Amino acid sequence: MYRVFLFFVLLPFISCSAQSNVKTQAVYSDQQGSSGPKLVVGIVVDQMRYDYLTKFYSRFGEGGFKRLVENGFNCENAQYNYIPTYTAVGHASIYTGTTPQSHGIIGNNWYDKYEKKSIYCVDDGNYKSVGASDGGRKSPARMVTTTVTDELKMFQNQRGKVIGISIKDRSAILPAGHSADAAYWFQGADEGKFITSSYYRDELPAWVNDFNNSGKAQAYLDTPWNTLYDISTYTATIADDNPYEGVFKGKDNPTFPYDLKKLKKDNGNFNLLKTVPAGNTIVKDFAEAAILGEKLGQSNTLVDFLAVSFSSTDYVGHKFGVDSKEIEDTYLRLDRDLAEFLTFLDKNVGENAYTVFLTADHAAVQVPAYLKELKVPAGYLDKKGFTAALNTFLKDRFGMEDLIENFSNNQLFLDKAKIAKAKLNIHEVTQAIVDEVINYEGVYKAVSAKTLQETHFTSGILALLQEGYNQKRSGDVLLIHEPSVISYSKTGSTHGSGYSYDTHVPIIFYGNGIKKGRTSRYIPIVDIAPTISNLLGISFGNGTTGRVIEEVIQRD
């Protein structure tokens, strides 16, 4: 009788527990079983402005950008919500779902005020190069928060594979996260092959060696770069021969065609491949080889993640500018690469078995010299003149020179030891610098670290600067240039600011679990990672400040 009584007393609890377990298993099954994606592919196009989508749209084929836009979800007003807009910072922010304030990647290079030297974001002397004699001593250690890829690895108890691929080391390493199976990048110069770091593995897998020995890199380097279509049809950009573009060594002018075989010796041999559209194509080829070699997307119970970054777009933009025939041709060729890659995914993973997002790590400014010809306010900041004027001011005001320990990434690092020895007040010195340099030509805003620590900016460009300020790593005085004013050469484009020409980028979601649609509401870049995490049913990165883009996800 007691057992019967106990059974009926415990029955509701047993039932609730069973329902809870079933629900948990159902969520896991829906997100990671046959109805969810088997593979997530994150695509970052380096230096892609949003208006490249609209500017070249009529020239795109049906299978690349148009396929993603028309059959996926297009976020038309996606913006970077911090300064600085650099490559490493962008890739870290996309995949961590937070800004430099939290993830710690404040530049490609930055001045380390503890080690008293400039450091590179993914350099790590604790590891060795794998696949080459040099170029592989890297890791993601300086990124201090987790990525969506890390969270996926932990959710699946280190099962399922995560791989990062790019021409650039930082663009492969940071997206792949801390727990990745591998990250591969292209070693140029006389190597011409994909390599990795002993952080991931002690030797290259057979499929990577096979790819490196295939002769693809040499074949692309020996193929002339001419326009994909008749150059007379390239009406979305300015004249091919103009004074706003850089010129390859060994060539007299920036015009098509480019004889790469002839130019390679004077332009770094295989480094030249990085700076032309074929650099994107070989990354696409390598990504396909990775899918086959690692059997990505073949499990019915696990999700794999492939992070691919196309970086040659950035090299072309820096060299030739955003209005060049070269940039137009680069995007028409990338569109063709994307079409081939999506078709490859259809065939080898399954038409509704994968999810893709495509975005950019930053955009780019139009060449200021060109803007000035159009009577648009623009210009160049003279860094040497700026430094000389500031040192003169400091000598007159405080009786000392060389109080600036380092000036980089629009940040001033003060020599605190020298200031303390002179019994000066550090905050008085920084505020004096702020009050002085705001008067210099090309400077729009100047703010001290103390102000950023004590004041909360909720809007405007200072709010973006604050999101990019990392108290442990950033400088003592931070500067913002006037719009379209850069510290760069008089030819080609660059980036780094918080203005819309640098912050407005595409975000497109496509594939399994994604609605068809569009939105023009403001969406910060940090919303990508939590949206993918929500789609997969996994934890957000431990520093996430972004939010789920609700309208993107198909709720069955």
Nearest-angstrom CA–CA distance, 401 and 392:
7
Residue 509: phi and psi, rounded to 5, are -110, 145
Nearest-angstrom CA–CA distance, 66 and 49:
16
Given a contact cutoff of 8 angstroms between Cβ atoms, the answer to whether 243 and 369 are in contact is yes
Structure tokens at 206: 């057979």
Give the residue ranges of DSSP H helices in 238-297.
Answer: 260-263, 271-274, 278-293
Give the residue ranges of DSSP H helices in 294-443.
Answer: 312-320, 325-348, 368-373, 383-398, 416-421, 426-437
Helix (H, G, I), strand (E, B) or coil at 301: coil
Q: How far is CA 505 from CA 60, 74, 105, 501, 514, in A?
A: 18, 11, 20, 9, 20
Nearest-angstrom CA–CA distance, 186 and 163:
14
Residues 6+ apart with CB under 8 A from 82: 89, 93, 99, 100, 101, 464, 465, 467, 468, 498
Is 87 catalytic? The answer is yes
Nearest-angstrom CA–CA distance, 285 and 283:
5
**Which of the following is catalytic: 24, 54, 87, 149?**
87
Helix (H, G, I), strand (E, B) or coil at 432: helix
Residue 17 burial (10 A CB sphere; 0-12, 13-18, 19+):
exposed
The DSSP element (H or E) to which 207 belongs, if any, is: helix 206-212
Nearest-angstrom CA–CA distance, 228 and 234:
10
Question: Which amino acid is present at 514?
Answer: I
What is the bridge-based pairing of β-strands 73-79 and 504-511?
A: antiparallel
Residue 239 burial (10 A CB sphere; 0-12, 13-18, 19+):
exposed
Nearest-angstrom CA–CA distance, 310 and 287:
11
Nearest-angstrom CA–CA distance, 7 and 2:
9
Residue 147 burial (10 A CB sphere; 0-12, 13-18, 19+):
buried
Nearest-angstrom CA–CA distance, 554 and 292:
29
| Of 493, 465, 509, the residue nearest 101 (C-alpha) | 465
Given a contact cutoff of 8 angstroms between Cβ atoms, the answer to whether 112 and 100 are in contact is no
Helix (H, G, I), strand (E, B) or coil at 508: strand
Given a contact cutoff of 8 angstroms between Cβ atoms, the answer to whether 358 and 52 are in contact is no
Provide Rg for the chain, Cα atoms.
25
Q: How far is CA 148 from CA 13, 136, 156, 404, in A?
A: 35, 24, 12, 39
> In degrees to the nearest 10, what's the CA dihedral of 370, 372, 377, 380?
80
Signed CA dihedral, 311, 314, 320, 322: sign only: positive
Cite the active site residues: 87
